[in-house]
Structure formats: C-alpha cells, structure tokens
Structure 1
Amino acid sequence: MGAGVFLAVLGAILTFAVRVDAPGINLKVVGVILMVAGGAIIAYARRGTRHERVITRVEQPDDPTAPPHTVQHVIRDVDLE
C-alpha cells in the first residue's frame, strides 16, 4: 500500500504544485494518471487476501457392488485487514 500512497502524493505534487512547462509532456495529465494509479493500488491492497481450499473425499456406498464416488468441497475465505 506504500507504493500507492507514494504514487498518489507524487501525482498530486505534479498536478497541483509544479508550475513548469515541460516540452512534449503535460505534467498535469501525468500527475492525474499517477494519482489514479496510486488510488487503484490502495484499493487493491485493501481488498484483503483470498484463500481457497479444496477438500476431496472418496465415499464408499453401503452397497458393495456400487462403485465409490468422489465428493469435492471448495471453501473460500477472505481475510480483511
């Protein structure tokens, strides 16, 4: 998340504080792009960590002539920070 904050601050400085006209590049547009990228990184970092576990088991029916079958359970967890 630190990189997102850094990009957002750098973009704000370029957009609002720098008063230099660089030939061939618009610093205000670059600053807005950096602020949006920083915000996206911060939002992505705050989503949390996702874990997925797959539990597989083989069940044998009561009838000995019937074939066994496999059952899978998918468990999804989200750790919010």
Structure 2
Amino acid sequence: MPDNRPDAATPDLTAFDRLWLCEAVRLTEAHGGLLDDAEANRRAIAAGGSLARRIEARALWLAAHPDRTGTHRAAVGGARQ
C-alpha cells in the first residue's frame, strides 16, 4: 500500500517549502485553470487528517508530478535567491 502522507513524497522539503508549493499550485490553478487532480484528490482523502492537511497532500502530490516538479522546485529556489 502506498504511503499517502504529504511528507512521504517530499521528505527533503521544509515546512516553508511545502507551503510554498501549495501556494504555487494554487496560483497555477488560479491563472491557468484547474489541474487534472483526480488521483491527487483520491490520495489526499485517503491520507485523511484536517482539511489543511488534505489540501497540502493534494498540492504536494500535484507538485511532485513529473510534469510539474521542475516548475515548482524552481519557484522555491527562486524565492530563496
């Protein structure tokens, strides 16, 4: 059974990085339309927890998707410069 915890897919991220990725996903959807997130939603619901925890799980799964990882990691890296 896969580990659905948000921090399981991104163990190297700090709390700030996780929040930054959540915001990057939110802004992506706000400006470009909703993402195809059926799998992310399923995993977030399965992970359980508070609404904030499920939102984070969804965003982190979407950010970890191969098509999005570089973009969001670049956003985190750019914020640190």
Q: Give your verdict on TM over 0.5.
A: no
Q: Which has the larger helix fraction? A: 2
TM-score, normalised to structure 1's length? 0.27
TM-score, normalised to structure 2's length? 0.27
Q: Which has the larger strand fraction? A: 1
**Of the two, which has the highest radius of gyration?**
1
